[in-house]
Structure 1
Amino acid sequence: MRDVLRIEDLVLKFRGYTGVTEVLHGISLNIRAGERVALVGESGSGKSVTARIVLGQLQELRSAQVQGGLYFEEQDLNRLSRRQWHALRGTHMSMIFQDPTSSLNPVFTIGVQFTEVLRRRDPKLSKEAAAKRAGELLNSVSIHDHARVLNAYPFQLSGGMNQRVAIAMALANHPSLLIADEPGTALDVTVQAQTLHLMHDLVERTGTAVLFISHNLGVVREFADRIYVIYRGRIVEQGPTQAVFENPRHAYTRALMAAVPRITGGGVPEIQDMDGAFFDPLEVHGEDRP
């Protein structure tokens, strides 16, 4: 099966007043057509910047230095112009952001934003045809009162409703690659479960490949086919989801799993790595021990 996305030895550096800071240290991963791949790690580990490099956003910053191979459907992304990058976004690759309300423009109705998204692929699409297509897409994410939602502004809808709208927009043009950056983080667990289930069904039907960025191991275990674990800008473990959960080999992966809250309570163990140092699972998530 062909790779939709392939990243080879990706390095990211930022130039600042005090010198150059290296953020990513040779990231490599691949996603095949129709596959759901999770990139898992704590905040600041390099998950979101990897996604933004794939979208070509960080390459536009003068302070950023990006090196390494980026291939999308066998196309060398490093050779694309800014205009070609822009043409890919929202059509062949799209993204769902963490906060559904802030990712939608508050000064335009959902209908106007939906029309803009659909015209990314078909610039000649009429307003009536766009509204009809938007209604069909909203129906696919279990939003059945199309007229009200399309005429509403994002701040007039709930977080769960906005997230469903964002998912529908992201999949509107049948992208080959969907990047989901912590989708549902701003939602309560019930709505989060509903939206992730909808997203799972939609990508199953469309055959879209997914790069799923998360620190929620419970969600990852249910959603992803394969996992890459990232720690301080390096991939430290990878493999099929079930294999990684049943037999985590790296100390950091074990620390992430040990940090998951359990109903039974009890102390949180320290986990020793290969060099004899200890990971504190609570410190992995930036928390203090009680």
Structure 2
Amino acid sequence: RLGSHELVLLSEVSGNIMNMDVMNQQTAYRNLIYGLETTIAAAKAAFSEDQKQYYTLLMKENGLEDTTDAEQSIVEEEQLVPENPAVSKKYVVLGAVLFAFIYAAVLCMGYIFNSRIRVNDGLQDLYGIPQIGVVVKDSKKKLFLDRWVNGLRHYGKREFTAEQSMELAFAAIKIAAAKNGQNNICLMGCNLGAGADKVCEGLKAALEKEGLSVTILNNVLYDAEAMEKVSAAQGAVLVEKAGSTLYNEIVAELELLKRLEIPVLGGITVE
């Protein structure tokens, strides 16, 4: 009645406030459209295969697009996708075995290419010097895995506590010094601060009570002052921290003592 006009919908709220009749008419149109869509969907569901093909061709000829099938296919695809995809136990087991294999390979390569002294290395076999002792850690400070590995390492052997290993090392140094008639000895090693310094302090305190003069020298190969003090010693004991001292550093220390003509009483490995 009013002719052609362009309508712009601002919001339903304005329609509700300005004119309730307009809102009711909009609701009626929506219900009508929904009813028509439902009727079309029901009719298409009852199509035979020939009717479906004819309907598709008809839509294409008229340049129309059937959005109902597309929406239906999207819904069906969403229903086919599981919300919580199941994890195959086979792949879980395979991943665990692969991880164990890679971890074992890494440990093996680390063991082969290790350039630092190990606690189970024999100084007598490697360097020809007496193995005075092996000072172990306190068992209370070890983890369960460390205790298990330590039990395998000492299988069939008598195990000692940290205090007992210190007493044995002290007695061995005392006997070696008395046998060679030495009263002034030095405890030397590389990187004693990695954990061997406390062992050296304990041995020094015990030996000084027996009337021996003991000097602790750290990093003799890299400290000029410590290197000068070595010449005053009558004998030397190498104290090396497992996992810290390099094999070639022990060789260099023995060569230094040989040049200075200082006898080596033996070596101690600190776990």
Instruction: Give the TM-score normalised by structure 2.
Output: 0.29
Which of the two has greater helix per residue?
2
User: Larger RCO: Structure 1 or Structure 2 (Cα < 8 Å, ≥ 6 residues apart)?
Assistant: 1
Which protein has the larger Cα radius of gyration, Structure 1 or Structure 2? 2
Which structure is higher in strand share?
Answer: 1
Question: Normalising to structure 1: TM-score of the pair?
Answer: 0.27
